[in-house]
Chain A
Amino acid sequence: MALLDVENLTIEFPTRRGTLRAIDGVSFAIDPGEVLGVVGESGAGKSLTGAAIIGLLEPPGRVAGGRIMLDGKRIDDLSQERMRAIRGRQIGAIFQDPLTTLNPLYSIGRQLVETIQTHLGLSDRDARARAIKWLEDVGIPAARQRIDAYPHEFSGGMRQRVVIALALCAEPRLLIADEPTTALDVSIQAQIIALLKRITREHGTAVMLVTHDMGVIAETADRVAVMYAGRIAEIGPVRDVVKTPAHPYSEGLMGSIPSLEHRVERLRQIDGAMPRLTAIPAGCAFNPRCPAVFDRCRTERPELLPAGATRAACWLHAGGR
């Protein structure tokens, strides 16, 4: 059974000019120990989906439909109180900016020990020993000495390591990582990705990795979901989505990324921009930018359809035009 099961998730933002639907019928599942990459351009709704799963949607945003199941139990309708207990213990979270997760007033050791004690109920000594072990695990040199240091005494890369330790120290079964490497330099980014991969594999943690960086997804994820305008455009094994994308949007996205391996005269480009929430086109939201658009795309919205090894929300895969 899947560890996380998101069914038909819909997120809305009531505004004075009507209700905006930011996420519209998104469904996916993550198995234990699996890494699901969620990619898309800014405004596609990938971070919102992550926030909804950990119960940290910022008001006035709200889950307006569908359900989120963790380990067979529904979690999207829990009270703040119950959700707080699940956050940390069962779902860990890493965000782009480590400083938003770390409390600048407490030493990192205190934050780790507190989290470990709250969720695992260990004694002071055991919790501290466990915290030191975690810091060593995430590659903080001289962990025994540095455990009493404050967040500002660490560099950006080291801080993100601490955040990873903090997110995983209560041994959650699911980790939501939202752009965990975006704020870091390339050489540091590679270290953090390698670390995340190793640690989650060791602990069998399922990961939802939200990022706009296809390179990171390609190296880290088992499966990938490509989001566009609040819906999943394509979902499938990472190799297939990257090498043989079935949705014209994924195809354009992959083609627009400059490669290190070879140089091309012109990059593939998708003309135009993602629609604003106030003006999502009828039919397939991608149809005004799509090179393969035909009549049906303009009127009827496609659901995810089997397309080779992946599933794509595109009428091209409905058995011919």
Chain B
Amino acid sequence: MADIVLAASGVTRDFDVSRPWLQRILAREPRRTLRAVDGVSFAIPRGTTLSLVGESGCGKSTVARLAVGLYAPSAGDISFEGQALSSARAQPALRRKMNMIFQDPYASLNPRWRVRDIVAEPIRAFALLRSEKDIADRVAQLLTQVGLAGADGEKFPHEFSGGQRQRISIARALSSEPDFLVCDEPTSALDVSVQAQILNLMRDLQQRFGLTYLFISHNLAVVRHMSDRLGVMYLGRIVELGDGETLFRAARHPYLRLLLEAIPDLAMVGRARTPVGGEVPSPIDPPPGCPFHPRCPLANDRCRAEKPAHVVADGVEIACHAVEEGRA
């Protein structure tokens, strides 16, 4: 059996989006919940990258936060290194094995802290090193590993460009010597040439330290570049999950196929294309049956009434009646 670092099974997360108590009582409204993540299952083998891709509101960032224990699941289980995530999080020795890289390089570093203190924070929190001299040496080493100069530790975050800040963020994530990194849209705020630097750096670090990534992105091209396995999310559910290359070469779920069709690409100079119609429905009030049916060209009565279950075919998990019935 493969060595699984993180596994989720049937994970669901609800948020209470009711209005404040008093207003709710006065208006006689019931509580309202938003199901951001709905029965998501996946496993990430050691040293590989699982990417989750989808449009805004699909729940991918919620999954990222569930995976590092920032949120607790409303239902389902997450396990880390074979233990329940909550008990793994309670042990510093295991907790330091996971860390996170964030989307916004301007918000993810405390503006009042010097870079050396930002990078050293996990080292101090887990007491990995005791003497200030050792910590300073380690911080300089980490900064060099991500392509900055050791002396940059003296500066404040605002003295750096977006790409450099993301490097600092990566150095901080690496400082607890993790095995597993959750990367929540790490390059979506960066310019393309800088994005390439960061993606290359992340790949290098993965090879060097045997890191396992959960990589969250809305950009299919970035995802293709980064992932071993790929999950496509729509309205809180993973609609297609499988080997990345297989999915890109032979996408089967109508949503992924339409997405691939819709994305502007350099290779498409001057070509016309058919965009996906409609918009993502509100997760507060999702359509019945398959959540994609209002936009799906293959939808029939069954799709409008019945939520499709996950079916495994050729190593790819798909939740689609049309695929299951051979209509796609």
Contacts and interface: CB of A to CB of B under 8 A. Distances in A.
On whether A and B touch (CB less than 8 Å), the answer reads yes
Interface of A: 41-42, 155, 157-158, 185-191, 193-194, 212-216, 218-220, 238-239, 242-243, 252-261, 263-264, 266-271, 273-274
B225 A185 contact: no
A194 B193 contact: no
Contacts of A189: 262, 264
Nearest to A238: B269
Interface stretch (B9-17, B73-81, B86-94, B216-224): B216-224
A48 B46 CA distance: 47
B266 interface: yes
A32 to B, nearest CB: 20
Contacts of B262: 186-187, 189-190
Given A219-B269, A238-B270, A273-B194, 9 more contacts: A187-B262, A187-B279, A213-B264, A216-B264, A218-B267, A256-B192, A256-B195, A258-B199, A269-B193
Interface of B: 55-56, 161-164, 191-197, 199-200, 203, 218-222, 224-225, 245, 248, 258-260, 262-273, 275-277, 279-280
Nearest to A271: B197
A42 B276 CA distance: 29
B268 A267 contact: no
Contact of A215 (B196, B258, B266, B277): B266
B269 A267 contact: no
- Interface SS of chain B: helix, strand, loop or mixed? helix
B192 A41 contact: yes
Residue with the highest number of chain B CB atoms closer than 10 Å, among A155, A193, A215: A215
A148 to B, nearest CB: 21
B245 A263 contact: yes
Contacts of A271: 197
22 contacts: A41-B193, A41-B194, A187-B55, A187-B259, A187-B279, A190-B263, A190-B273, A193-B275, A219-B270, A239-B269, A239-B270, A256-B196, A258-B222, A263-B224, A263-B245, A264-B225, A266-B203, A267-B225, A269-B197, A273-B161, A273-B164, A273-B194
Contacts of A186: 55, 218-220, 259, 262-263
Contacts of A188: 55, 279
Contacts of B162: 42
Contacts of A41: 191-194
Residue with the highest number of chain B CB atoms closer than 10 Å, among A252, A260, A261: A260
B264 A273 contact: no
Given A185-B218, A273-B194, A194 B275 contact: yes
B220 A269 contact: no
Shortest Cβ-Cβ A-B pairs, 9 listed: A215-B264, A256-B196, A41-B191, A190-B275, A190-B262, A185-B55, A267-B196, A258-B225, A187-B276
B264 A193 contact: yes
B163 to A, nearest CB: 6
A273 B165 CA distance: 12
Contacts of B225: 258, 263-264, 267
A269 B197 CA distance: 6
A254 B266 contact: yes
B269 A260 contact: no
Contacts of B276: 187, 190-191
B217 to A, nearest CB: 10
Contacts of A268: 196
Contacts of A274: 191
A206 B264 CA distance: 21
A255 to B, nearest CB: 8
B266 A270 contact: no
Given A185-B56, A190-B273, A239-B269, A155 B264 contact: no
A268 B196 CA distance: 7
Nearest to B270: A239
Contacts of A191: 275-277
B266 A214 contact: yes
Contacts of B196: 255-258, 267-270
B298 to A, nearest CB: 16
B193 A259 contact: no
A190 to B, nearest CB: 4
A187 B260 CA distance: 9
B265 A261 contact: yes
